[in-house]
Homo-oligomer: A and B are copies of this chain.
Amino acid sequence: MAQQERGKRSRRSILEAAAQVFDERGYDAASTNEILARTGLTRGSLYHHFPSKEAIALALVQAHAEALEVPERPIRLQSVIDLTLEFARRLQHDAVLRASVRLTTEQTSFDCPPQTTYEQSMDTILTLLQEAEKRDEILPGVDVREVSSLIVGSFTGLQIMSQAYTGRADLPQRTSVLWKFLLPGLATPGLVGRLRTTPPEE
């Protein structure tokens, strides 16, 4: 048991160090040497957990899914909004998320499988939108599949631009603006005014 615990801990420490290195340098310029130097582990221990740099990148991208925690709200559209606002906030500090986003959006020799990030985000949002649809929160005629793809695509660009301008400091604000302008074309008129597009008070 103690050994299993140690194993888990070193796996986690490799992922965290690798996330920092990928986030700072991108995939191609990142080296396992630098990742090792930041963990203090041996190369043998690294290869015990991950056979290659690519395997580490893949594990990081998969960790993306765990970050998609759905906030429970009485209005399902509010859950979608809060999911994106919370994701925006976490991107400011969470190296694993930042790395997974960079690995997904940049074209490198790491051939990132789109299903692990875009598809997971779209699936989570689509499920919420379908529930919202059943509860008559969505305008008639709206294609919720189209909307989930639009939200993921738009958010992807907003976070890149926010990174370039403010190191992601203004990402929650940019996410709020996205919702302010999407909702009138998406939500039933009575609902638009009742939805909060800014982060909930802590």
Q: Which residues of A contact B (CB under 8 A)?
A: 26, 28-29, 102, 104-108, 112, 114, 118, 146-147, 149-150, 152-165, 174, 177-178, 180-186
Contact = CB atoms under 8 A, between A and B. Distances in A.
Contacts of A161: 118, 149, 152-153, 156
Contacts of A165: 114, 118
Secondary structure dominating the interface of A: helix
Contacts of A156: 156-158, 160-161
Contacts of A102: 107
Nearest to A106: B106
Contacts of A146: 177
A110 B9 CA distance: 36
A105 B114 CA distance: 18
Contacts of A184: 184-185
A153 to B, nearest CB: 4
Given A29-B28, A102-B107, A146-B177, A158 B153 contact: yes
